[in-house]
Every structure is written in structure tokens, then in C-alpha cells.
Structure 1
Amino acid sequence: MNDADRERARLIDTYRKKAKHYDRASRLAPVPFYPQRAQRLRAVRALALHAGDRVVDVACGTGLNFPLIEERIGPGGRIVGVDLTDAMLARARERVDAAGWANVRLVQGDAADFAFPGGVDAIVSTYALTQVPGVGRVIAHGAAALAVGGRWVVLDLKVPDGLPGWMRQVGVAAVPTSASLAAWVARRPWEAVRDAMREELDDPRWTELCLGTAFLAVGSGRVR
């Protein structure tokens, strides 16, 4: 088993344990009163969705983004939710069934290996992509499948830069990750997201949120 396989196995085990209480716990993450829902809403707005659009939610977890997306695409649209962990997708299925959404397909699999459907209108990932091994590959595969002018949006956590040392330590402590915190910080995966979006997409934009503890990255599909 190589390092990537070990990381996948650990992520699956971690999120199987978290799945049952994930929705409740997410309201307190990364710290109590963190504006997670407001940031999710901002990410979905950045997708610039229209009725009937097809959206891929990468590392969708329990489907917390689904209501925000459904409100914009309507029953004529389509959501494909992709996640590595069966237990998280089981919770997402409960959410879909309870809401009566007939336009959601759930796929269990590694985001790095997912075969994106061609010509999708939007791709989103929130609070998850920096934990995925091969994040640059995920961005590139999604960009290749994105319709011209469609949006790829990533909302995720990061370590704040350009702050006094004591504030940076507070920011690091506030960032939860299922990986070793030291390894995650050393890897700086948010930079891989930024660099891949600049390389693969048109009009890439990067906005830091909450004193640099989070970021919103947006890019548009290009002619290929």
C-alpha cells in the first residue's frame, strides 16, 4: 500500500466515524460561530447557476450544499454528488430522499479518479478538497469536463499568511483536518488548488476569508 492509498484508507475511516454527527458538528467547525453557512452560500452564488444547470459537488459529504444548489437549478437541473466515504453518502441519501429530489445522483469514489461527465455547467467543492491526495489532478479533470464559461468553485480552509506570529498560531489551531496538522500545513494544499486553477481555467480569482483561515477560488471553463 503506497502513501496515497494509506491516506485514502485513513480518510474513509475518519469520516465513517464522523458521518452520524457530521451535520451537527459542522456548525461548530472550525470554531464556534465560524460563518460556515455564509461561506457555503457565497460559494454557491459564485457558481452563477441557472435553472436546468448540471452541477458536480466534489467531496459532497452529507450533502450540505444540495439545498443551496437545488434552489437555483430547480427540478430540471441535475446534481452529481461524489464522495469517498460510504457512510457520508448514506447520510446524503437520507437528505435527498427526505427532500424528494429526483435529480440527484450519488457516486462513491476517489475525487482524483472520478470521471467527470462532459459539458457540466458547474463544479463545486467545499471544506474538503485540500484533504484530497492529488488535488491538482482533480482540478484539471474537472476543468477539462467543464462547459465553456462554466464555473469551478473551491471553498476551503488554509493557514493564514501575513499575520503576526501569535495570530497565525491561533489560525492554525482553528483549522481542523483529518490529516496530521503538521503534515497538512507543510504540504500547503491550498497553493496546489490556486496554482491548478490558474493553469487550467480562465479568469481565475482568489479571495481570502476570515483573516486568511479560508479561501474562495473561482475559475471559468475555457475553449479546448
Structure 2
Amino acid sequence: MAKYTTIAPLYDLLSAEYPIYGAGRRRLLQLMDLQRGQQVLDIGCGTGLNFSLLREQIGAEGILVGIDRSAAMLARAQRKAERNGWKNIILIHADATALDEPSVSAHVVREGGRPLADAALATYSLSLMVDWPRAWRVMWELTTPEARLGICDMQEPNGPGRVCRPLAKAVCRLSGSDIAAHPWTALEHDCTNVLHASLRSGHVQVRTGSKSQGV
């Protein structure tokens, strides 16, 4: 966590967003197909790189709840929201692997007192968490039975991109990500109507799905 405290001011510049990782975010949001007025959880929201894309779909009438365990990264996200005049963003400083419904309901209470979101997504964040399956369960528990869930994360490049594997592994080690975590497999197992996308020689993997009953 100290690492992200140090790099937070420069994270947007150092994250290779435009040449590589932004494509995954954009594809994820296309497949999520969110609607105006929905409430969405952004797990591991970091500096808020998803915020503008999410607001394009949910509009000013929707609610965006960003959760991150790095206070420094959240501070950058808060500045981004204030600079753009985004009034519908709620930021929660918390570890997603330890989050529960009361933690969210302290900040957001929907009609009928249920703090459940219409959708949840995690972009390049689950692979940073040692207990990422617990964060996946949190995404499940804090969303409605009809919710749409999405994951965008990394694996080793394949095909012609195999030559970039050493670089991809080095970047993941520096960031603290486990390139072999493959957290989208949980979504594939638990959800229905799963949509897939593979970008940047397979390095970026995107999955979205609908919650199944009885999982």
C-alpha cells in the first residue's frame, strides 16, 4: 500500500492507460451496457479512471460508489470528481476483501433501506488482492439479484504478443499484481450470459455476466 501512496500523484501518467489498459476499460463498459440512473460499485477504483466512462452510461442521475483501500489514490479520485463537477460519486476508503453490507449502507441507502447496487465492476484491481475471491463475493453480495457484473484484468500475452511476456510480468510485479490470478474465472463460473473480450494479444481479459440464482 505504501507503493500506491508514493505513486498516486503520477499514477494516471505511469499506468500505460492509453496504449494498453484503457482499451480494456472501454470494452468492459461497452459489454456492461449500464443504464441511466443505475447505482454502480467500482471495486478498487484507484484514481477514478473509470469515472468518466461510467458517467456516460449512468448519467448524473445515477450513483457511482468507488471503493479503494489506498487513501492517496482516493484523494486523487476525489480531486478528479471535484474538478469535473461530478456530484453523484461517493468514495469509500475500505479494503474490498473485508467489505460488508453495513460498510456500504453507512454511505448509500437505496429505497427500502437496501444498499444493493445494480452493477459492480473491477478493473485491474482483483489481481492486486491476495484474497481476490473474497472481493468477488463482496461484489456478489452487494448487488441486486438482477445485477450485471464485470471484470477486466491481466494475464500473460499470447500469440505474436508472447515476445512481450517478460515486460508484462515485470510491470505486474512492479504494480503488485498477480498475472496468474485470472479472477475472471469466478465470473465465468458464477454468472450467466457471459460475454468475453480479449485484447492486446490476450494480455487484457474482459468478462461480463448476469448473476445466476442459487450461487
5 Å-filtered alignment, 1:132-211, equals: 132-161=129-158, 163=159, 167-175=161-169, 176-178=171-173, 184-185=178-179, 188-190=180-182, 193-211=183-201
Sort the Cα spacing of 1:215 and 1:59 in 2 relative to 1 into closer, same or farther, 3 A.
same
Aligned-pair identity in percent equals 28
- RMSD, aligned CA: 2.3
Confirm whether residue 124 of structure 1 aligns to residue 121 of structure 2: yes
Sort the Cα spacing of 1:61 and 1:153 in 2 relative to 1 into closer, same or farther, 3 A.
same
Sort the Cα spacing of 1:38 and 1:199 in 2 relative to 1 into closer, same or farther, 3 A.
closer
Of 67, 71, 77 in structure 1, the residue corresponding to residue 52 of structure 2 is: 67
Aligned counterpart, 1:20: 9
Instruction: Report the alpha carbon displacement of residue 80 of structure 1 after superposing the two structures with TM.
Output: 0.6
For 2:181, give the aligned amino acid. P
Q: Is the 8 A contact 1:56 1:81 kept in 2?
A: yes
CA distance in 2, matches of 1:35, 1:195: 22
Instruction: Report the alpha carbon displacement of residue 62 of structure 1 after superposing the two structures with TM.
Output: 0.5
CA distance in 1, matches of 2:74, 2:191: 29
Of 48, 64, 85 in structure 1, the residue corresponding to residue 33 of structure 2 is: 48
Aligned to 1:130, what secondary structure does the other structure show? helix
Report Cα offsets for 1:190-218 as digits up to 9, x if no partner: 1xx13321333222344322111110011
Of 37, 49, 54 in structure 1, the residue corresponding to residue 22 of structure 2 is: 37
Report Cα offsets for 1:60-96 as digits up to 9, x if no partner: 0100110111121112110110111110000001011
Aligned counterpart, 1:3: none
Of 189, 205, 208 in structure 2, the residue corresponding to residue 215 of structure 1 is: 205
CA distance in 2, matches of 1:102, 1:189: 35
Report Cα offsets for 1:34-72 as digits up to 9, x if no partner: 243232111112221111100000110100110111121
Q: Is the 8 A contact 1:131 1:179 kept in 2?
A: no
Instruction: Report the alpha carbon displacement of residue 148 of structure 1 after superposing the two structures with TM.
Output: 3.0
CA distance in 1, matches of 2:123, 2:84: 21
CA distance in 2, matches of 1:101, 1:180: 28
* 82-91 or 133-142, larger mean C-alpha shift: 133-142
Instruction: Report the alpha carbon displacement of residue 149 of structure 1 after superposing the two structures with TM.
Output: 3.1
For 2:121, give the aligned amino acid. V
Q: Is the 8 A contact 2:152 2:184 kept in 1?
A: no
For 2:197, give the aligned amino acid. T
TM-score, normalized by length of structure 2? Answer: 0.83
Aligned to 2:172, what secondary structure does the other structure show? coil
Aligned to 1:51, what secondary structure does the other structure show? coil
CA distance in 1, matches of 2:203, 2:28: 15
TM-score, normalized by length of structure 1? Answer: 0.80
Instruction: Report the alpha carbon displacement of residue 178 of structure 1 after superposing the two structures with TM.
Output: 4.6
Confirm whether residue 112 of structure 1 aligns to residue 97 of structure 2: yes
Report Cα offsets for 1:87-122 as digits up to 9, x if no partner: 000000101111122211111111111225543111
Structure 2 unaligned blocks of 5 or more: 105-114
CA distance in 1, matches of 2:195, 2:26: 17
Structure 1 unaligned blocks of 5 or more: 1-11
How many corresponding residue pairs?
A: 201
Aligned to 1:34, what secondary structure does the other structure show? helix
Confirm whether residue 85 of structure 1 aligns to residue 70 of structure 2: yes
